[in-house]
């Protein structure tokens, strides 16, 4: 059996994010700790939370919060170059997710919300982005877009 529409959406997100040349690796994060020394950086981790489902005639609309975190190794000078690197990656992520047709056919709507940066330690800076993502499938059949 084919994957559910939601699984297809998440797999397509990984493909779209992985196609950005500046990204070292892409991971669908499942809440377990990750050794950043063992992944290629900049590393993108994405996950979903807070899903709701609405019925529109024969269509089920799933709306979820999508979070993207990009871990970037700080240069030897520390955080000095992080903001420029993070802002450039933010633009690339925005273009890949919002500005291309890569998600057409699976994602009904993707709305960028909040963007922020953090420095968890002296080795890494993290760019965070949040989105509201809406996808649809046939009501009563999460594996089909045939309504």
Q: Concatenate the DSSP letters of all residues of 73-137 into one string.
A: EPBTTBGGGHHHHHHHHHHHHHHHHTSSSTTTTTEEEEEEEEEEEE-SSSSEEEEEEEEEEEEEE
pTM: 0.90
Query: Are the C-beta atoms of residues 138 and 145 closer than 8 Å to each other?
Result: yes
pLDDT digits (tens, 9 = 90+) for 59-100: 899 999 999 999 999 887 667 788 899 999 999 999 999 977
Q: What is the pLDDT of residues 105-136, one digit of tens each?
A: 889 999 999 999 998 888 899 999 999 999 99
Domain layout of the chain by residue ranges: 5-138
More confident residue, 37 or 89: 89
The pLDDT-based confidence of 145 (bands split at 50, 70, 90) is confident
Bigger pLDDT: 122 or 10?
A: 10
Which pLDDT belongs to residue 78? 66
Q: Is the pLDDT of residue 147 over 70?
A: no
The domain 5-138 is classified under which CATH number: 3.30.70.1700, 3.30.930.10, 2.40.480.10, 3.40.50.720? Answer: 3.30.70.1700
Buried/exposed 57-74: b ≥16 CB within 10 Å, e otherwise: eeebbbbbebbbbbbbbb
Inform me whether the pLDDT recorded for 1 exceeds 60.
no
């Amino acid at each position: 059996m084919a994957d559910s529409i939601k699984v297809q959406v998440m797999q397509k997100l990984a493909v779209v994010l992985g196609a950005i040349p500046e990204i070292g690796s892409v991971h669908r994060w499942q809440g377990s700790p990750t050794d950043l020394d063992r992944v290629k950086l900049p590393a993108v981790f994405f996950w979903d939370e807070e899903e709701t489902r609405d019925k529109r005639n024969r269509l089920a609309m799933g709306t979820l919060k999508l979070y993207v975190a990009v871990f970037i190794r700080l240069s030897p000078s520390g955080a000095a170059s992080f903001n420029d690197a993070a802002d450039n990656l933010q633009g690339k992520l925005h273009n890949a997710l919002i500005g291309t047709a890569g998600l057409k056919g699976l994602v009904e709507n993707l709305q960028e919300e909040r963007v922020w940066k953090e420095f968890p330690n002296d080795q890494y800076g993290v760019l965070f982005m949040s989105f509201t993502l809406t996808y649809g499938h046939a009501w009563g059949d999460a594996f089909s877009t045939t309504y």
